Structure 1
Amino acid sequence: MVGVILTGHGSFATGLYQAATQIVGAQAQFDAIDFPDGMSSGSFEQQLVTLLEQCNKGDGVIFLTDIVGGTPFKVSAMLSFQFKHIEVISGINMPLLLEILLQRDVLDIQTLRLETIKNAKNSISSLWHEQQKKSSINKEFADGI
């Protein structure tokens, strides 16, 4: 099973972690670390390495970060060059996280990365778009009767 570590600014990571475990329950090899205001990047890196060692059971670990270019992303990227079988995905949200958690025991780390990026477009919607889908389904249903 691929390990998953959430990270981001403020309480982004632990908030997303708590929401995900509320929906899918407690998960093995899954943890979160926040990067709060005032934390040094060195301290953050040490904590991230500790989590990496705990979450990596041989199939690799995916770091899921909030934004490209921020400290959580940069430190995760740096660690991906130091350790084997590490992927870094930025821009994580709840739909993508749940998909990763539910597929990480059947997909290898590279396929999981590719599927996540491919599915990212479908993880964001608006009320208008959802209403259009329902209108289309209702129209198809009405046309079939």
Structure 2
Amino acid sequence: MVGVLLISHGNLGLSLADCARHVLGRVPDNLAIMGVEKHDDPEAKRLEAQGLIAQLEQGDGVVVLTDMVGGTPANITGRLVQAGRVEAVAGVNLPMLVRALSYSSQPLEIVVSKAITGGLEGVFYMLPEGKHAKTTD
């Protein structure tokens, strides 16, 4: 099973994980969360993340989901990537996380692909009366 690590600013990862547990109706045992605060040492957090990856790794790899490119969590994440073993996706949202967890029994490259498409396909422009228009061209 592919492990899923959330690295985010503050408590965003915890909140997303709580929502994912609600949506999935289960507590995923292949999920870990690491929040990064302003005062945290990035190198210490990178080492913490490596420890979480080691705990999650069951031989199928780990996908790290992070919030926004350019921020400290994403910068830490970028230093963790090991092609084919530890992959990363930025821009995490609830559809991305749910998709990654739902497909985590698949190979790592499928989990990454499903996470990305889940994140992208979960973004809509909302219209009145609950209707929506997809935001793709």
Instruction: Indicate the residue corresponding to 1:23 in structure 2.
Output: 23
1:45-92 C-alpha deviation (Å, 9 max, x unpaired): 1211111111111000000000112221122221114x8511100001
Q: What's the counterpart of residue 64 of structure 1?
A: 65
Larger helix percent = 1
Conserved in 1, the CA contact under 8 Å of 2:96 and 2:117? no
Q: In structure 2, what is the Cα distance between the partners aligned to 1:78 and 1:125?
A: 32
CA contact (8 A) 2:32 2:52 kept: yes
Q: Does 1:41 align with 2:42?
A: yes
SS of residue matched to 1:19: helix
% identical aligned pairs = 24
Q: Is the 8 A contact 2:125 2:132 kept in 1?
A: no
Runs of 4+ in 1 over 6 A off after TM superposition: none
Amino acid at match of 1:56: E
Shift in CA distance, 16/120, structure 1 to aligned 2, threshold 3 Å = closer
1:87 and 1:113 in contact (8 A); partners too: yes
Aligned residue for 2:70, secondary structure, equals coil
**Once the 2 structures are TM-superposed, how far is the Cα of residue 121 of structure 1 from its aligned partner?**
2.6
State the superposition RMSD in angstroms: 1.9
Q: How do 1:64-103 and structure 2 match up within 5 A?
A: 64-81=65-82, 85-103=85-103
Q: How far apart in 1 are the matches of 2:121 and 2:84?
A: 30
Q: Does the CA contact (< 8 Å) of 2:124 and 2:132 recur in 1?
A: no
Determine which structure has more spread, i.e. the larger CA radius of gyration: 1
Aligned to 2:5: 5
Q: Report the TM-score, using the length of structure 2 for normalisation.
A: 0.85
CA contact (8 A) 1:29 1:54 kept: no
Q: Normalising to structure 1: TM-score of the pair?
A: 0.81
Q: Tell me, which stretches of 5 or more residues in structure 1 are unaligned?
A: 134-145
For structure 2, the residue ranges without an aligned partner over 5 or more in a row are none
**Which residue matches 1:108?**
107
Measured in 2, the distance between the counterparts of 1:35 and 1:86 equals 19
